[in-house]
Amino acid sequence: MAIEFTKYHGLGNDFILIDNRSSSVPVITPEEAIKLCDRHFGIGADGVIFALPGENNTDYTMRIFNSDGSEPEMCGNGIRCFAGFVADLEGESRNKDKYQIHTLAGVMTPQLMPDGQVKVDMGLPRLLAGEIPTTLANADEKVINHTLEVAGKSWDVTCVSTGNPHCITFVEDVAAIPLETIGPLFEHHPVFPQRINTEFVEVVRRDYVKMRVWERGAGITLACGTGACATLVAGVLTGKCDRTATVELPGGPLLIKWADDQRLYMTGPAEKVFAGKL
């Protein structure tokens, strides 16, 4: 059976999106997703995203297989692409610009904006060590500017979950970080029992930071939406950032806001690349 797909990207963080509305089970396996994501022998992507039937009165359910076959709880760039994808699927029958999406990290609410951007209500960040999870502190404590030894160096890290786990460290020159060697050491560090996404961040101004990311299960990517949200939270918690800031990623900028009601909002693009059949 031929399976139709559409390729999308959010600031270069790219995904294969599949219409899976006829079943609550993904139509391809994690092993097949690995092959499809291969940039030499497959389509090439950071992950495969499935649009499944909604659960608990939501419009749709989103599931993701990373390029290594693992399944993350959520993906910030991915959910923006997801919103554009389901809007295209609905076509002329579409009667809304905001969706309630069920994910493993809870319900997320992306909204299609008139300028083509997608704004996502990412919910409340989780700050306790047990929620990340990490053993850097007691389960009921926050991890803010804790010291972590990696590759013979002491790093000041702050940990935040924005649906999936993030470790943020602020550096003088983000371009100088050897991401391909240091990233895996963070991801697989024993203090992170479910592995970790790691953001290296250079503060240019309180409302503008540069970020590079090593994503759990995907490696170096051009952008990470949940990581950008976690970066802003870490910047506020450490006194380095305002509550609204532009996070500049290798693929482009995201606007992140940590509102007074503690909810996180992410605004950025989602662009269709091409469609095909497997």
- d(C-alpha 148, C-alpha 75), whole Å: 25
CB 8 within 8 A of CB 64: no
d(CA 202, CA 200): 7
User: How are beta strands 153-161 and 118-123 bridged, if at all?
Assistant: unpaired
How far is CA 245 from each of CA 121, 206, 208, 259, 267, rounded to the nearest angstrom? 16, 7, 5, 11, 11
Q: Are 150 and 185 in contact (CB under 8 A)?
A: yes
Buried b (16+ CB within 10 A) or exposed e, 64-101: bbbbebbebbbbbbbbbbbbbbbbeeeeeeeeeeebbb
d(CA 75, CA 152): 31
Residue 194's region, left for phi above 0, alpha for psi from -120 to 50, else beta, is alpha
Rounded Cα distance between 171 and 169, Å, is 6
Q: So which residues are the catalytic ones?
A: 75, 224
State the Cα–Cα distance between residues 17 and 33, nearest whole angstrom.
11
